[in-house]
Amino acid sequence: MPEEKSLSPAVNRAVAILDELSTESPLGTSELARRLNLPKSSIANILGAMDQTGLIERVDQSYTLGRKLVELAANYLTDNSPVAMFHSAAKLLKVASEETIVFAELDDTEIIYLARHYGSQPIRLASDIGNRMPAVATALGQAMLSQLPKADLDDRLSRVPELPQLTPNSYQTFGEVREALKATAERGHAIDDELNTKGVICFSVPLPISATLNRQFAVSVTMLKARHTPEHEEALVADLHKLIAAMPTL
């Protein structure tokens, strides 16, 4: 766990602990020290402080995520943040509001789902908030990757060990990925045509890259492929552009 440039290694370690507990819990001190390759004494001190603040909770001799995280997440989702603006604007869209709409962020080679609007369709199609997916396997990820300068894109793709094979339509080569990203940039929106879920198609439009936060976001709409028509796609993409226009500049 690199900490050479960290202003506060203890904070980095605390976040690493939360990451581990978010993927598997409960975990004990010894196991966390082993996973993070850190001294058990250091981990024990941080765990004690995090337990006192409610970020984690002790269960016998192990730890799980704490209730304080729920409070923090709720505040993030309800204040005047991009997430709150997303929810307000998504429900007003004429066509896309009837479908599943998602707001996500690019994190290195993955995307993180930040918010979700459920439409009126009987089948709900979206990952849970906070989940991650390989960027190359989603329309959201492709929309954001297509904005990157070539050097940045090359660097990120070089750190993808292998392309995820989730459906028969999943990309087989990085050449296919690059062609898809080129088409996305030219078209103005990305298309996930059963890349990660059979029978599901998704369209995504990226927000302008944040100059102040150095972060990338995108919105998408997901639907059953059986309901897709070119006319419907055009209307959905137009609504995604309206959604972006209604959200604050980041």
Is the pLDDT assigned to residue 107 strictly greater than 60? yes
* Residue entry with tokens 């954001």: 144
What pLDDT does residue 80 have?
53
Is the pLDDT confidence value at 61 over 60? yes
pTM for this structure? Answer: 0.72
Does the pLDDT at position 2 exceed 60?
A: no
108-142 residue pLDDT tens? 999 999 989 988 876 666 678 888 999 999 999 99
Average pLDDT in the chain: 88
Largest CA distance in the chain: 62
pLDDT of residue 77: 62
* pLDDT (0 to 100) of residue 5: 63
Does residue 4 register a pLDDT over 60?
no
Residues 6+ positions from 66 with CB-CB distance below 8 Å: 50, 51, 53, 54, 55, 56, 57
- Tens of pLDDT, residues 77-97: 665 577 888 888 999 999 999
Is pLDDT at 3 greater than 60 in this prediction?
A: no
Choice between 168 and 125, residue whose per-residue pLDDT is larger:
168
pLDDT of 1 over the 50 cut? no
Please say if the pLDDT value at position 202 is more than 70: yes
Contact present, 195 and 201 (Cβ < 8 Å): no
Distance CA 137, CA 159 (A): 15
Q: What span, in angstroms and rounded, lies between the C-alpha atoms of 116 and 104?
A: 9
**Domains of the chain, CATH where assigned:** 9-70 (1.10.10.10), 79-246 (3.30.450.40)
Is residue 207 a contact partner of residue 218, using CB atoms and an 8 Å limit?
yes
